[in-house]
A = this chain, B = another copy of it.
């Protein structure tokens, strides 16, 4: 036991993560500033920094992105994406969420059905053909399901930067993204279970667990609401409140993923919503944002670029892969856009919702990997999934920024990524000198 622990400590040189970290922070900052000059959102700068840093991986025997440092960065990136969603949750205005509940439902349903259907059709065309449509049906449905889930972290960051997170578009996207994540995860579990032939009983358990998660979260949330307000009242402005917030966030994210089969970022978001009902939520959010945007969030965005790898592209998969990307992008814009139009959103707002919902990130990668692990998906699709992630992550913030050009922010832009020009703060303690 001891020697095992020590051999881990001995073989991994933990300091090796410091150089990639320094490079990521420096390049993310530089490219964010450069991007800002030409009107690009800062997340794009961080992603581009990551893609460029990812080129280092092509150098043989480089010691910057080793298996261990990549693992370390992925842990930091995981904390980053959790904190991004937690912060988005804290900033959610529950009243607005209620208002756009029905449109969000319509947007979600069409936003799931359209890309999933298109993905199924494309997959069937390349994988068995329509004459044998039943043969690979579950596999092809799984391909469709991959396109169902959305990762709105980038959209959320962009909308926050634009000061539009609490607009009708912002809350619709967040509400729809929560629901399509749930639908995506349900369908994912469903098809994996169906493929294993365990039958309808498992499906009930999967759905039951999800209902269980939200029921438990609501019950615990009410208790935490009173506990946190009590702590806040007795010890205002102490660090124990944000730290307790972190604990709740990490625990909810873990519990969701581990015990309920719900995505961890959804758990973190739900934890954020609970914290949003606490009086001091702005103070908590500020501490979370400082912690996150100094290290974790830049690592998350850069890591998307760094882990993108296009060397596995083969000619056989190219046609399918490119068609799959196109369908993945168009499907969401079309599905969510039409859904928005049906709910009487303006054309411009419908387009905004569609483009905001287009973004995929870790969830689509995780879904694909789960499909590969279960033998439902060809591993060769992965480079195209990464391409879908990069394209959507690069296109969506840019398109959203263009679509919001000339509009004033609805709400104050709370600490936009990295570049907040915060006003001088009063010094909490007298100066040392």
Interface residues of A (CB under 8 A from B): 1-6, 8-10, 12, 14-19, 21-22, 25-26, 29, 33, 57, 67-68, 70-72, 74-79, 82, 235-240, 242-244, 246-248, 250-251, 253-254, 257-258, 264, 282, 287, 290-291, 293-295, 307, 309-312, 365, 369, 372-373, 379, 382-383, 411-414, 418-432
Q: A287-B290, A291-B294, A424-B236 are in contact. Are A379 and B3 (CB under 8 A)?
A: yes
- Min CB–CB distance A258 → chain B (angstroms): 7
Give the residues in chain B near A432, CB-CB below 8 Å.
Answer: 282, 411-412, 414
| Contact, CB under 8 Å: A428 / B425 | yes
Q: How far is the CA of A226 from the CA of B254 in the complex (A)?
A: 46
Contact of A8 among B57, B67, B421 (CB under 8 A): B67
Q: A246-B294, A250-B18, A257-B15 are in contact. Are A421 and B311 (CB under 8 A)?
A: no
Q: How far is the CA of A240 from the CA of B30 in the complex (A)?
A: 9
- Min CB–CB distance A63 → chain B (angstroms): 8
Give the residues in chain B near A418, CB-CB below 8 Å.
Answer: 239-240, 243
Give the residues in chain B near A77, CB-CB below 8 Å.
Answer: 14
Give the residues in chain B near A14, CB-CB below 8 Å.
Answer: 74-75, 77-78
Copies of this chain present: 2
| Contact, CB under 8 Å: A74 / B12 | yes
| Contact, CB under 8 Å: A68 / B70 | no
Pairs of residues from A and B, 10 with the lowest C-beta to C-beta distance, nearest first: A2-B312, A22-B250, A72-B75, A14-B78, A18-B254, A18-B250, A22-B251, A423-B428, A412-B429, A19-B254
In the complex, besides A15-B253, A18-B253, A246-B295, 14 extra interface pairs with C-beta distance below 8 angstroms are A1-B311, A4-B67, A6-B372, A6-B379, A9-B307, A10-B373, A18-B250, A18-B254, A18-B264, A19-B251, A71-B75, A75-B76, A243-B294, A287-B294
Q: How far is the CA of A187 from the CA of B56 in the complex (A)?
A: 35
Q: How far is the CA of A71 from the CA of B10 in the complex (A)?
A: 11
Q: How far is the CA of A67 from the CA of B71 in the complex (A)?
A: 12
Q: List 29 A-B contacts (CB under 8 A).
A: A2-B310, A2-B311, A2-B382, A2-B383, A5-B309, A6-B369, A6-B372, A6-B379, A8-B70, A9-B365, A12-B74, A16-B254, A18-B250, A18-B264, A19-B258, A21-B250, A22-B246, A25-B247, A33-B240, A68-B71, A72-B72, A75-B76, A238-B419, A240-B418, A291-B295, A411-B432, A412-B430, A420-B428, A425-B426
Contact of A254 among B15, B76, B264, B293 (CB under 8 A): B15
Q: How far is the CA of A17 from the CA of B33 in the complex (A)?
A: 32
A263, closest chain B residue (CB) = B15
- Min CB–CB distance A28 → chain B (angstroms): 9
Give the residues in chain B near A29, CB-CB below 8 Å.
Answer: 240, 243-244, 247
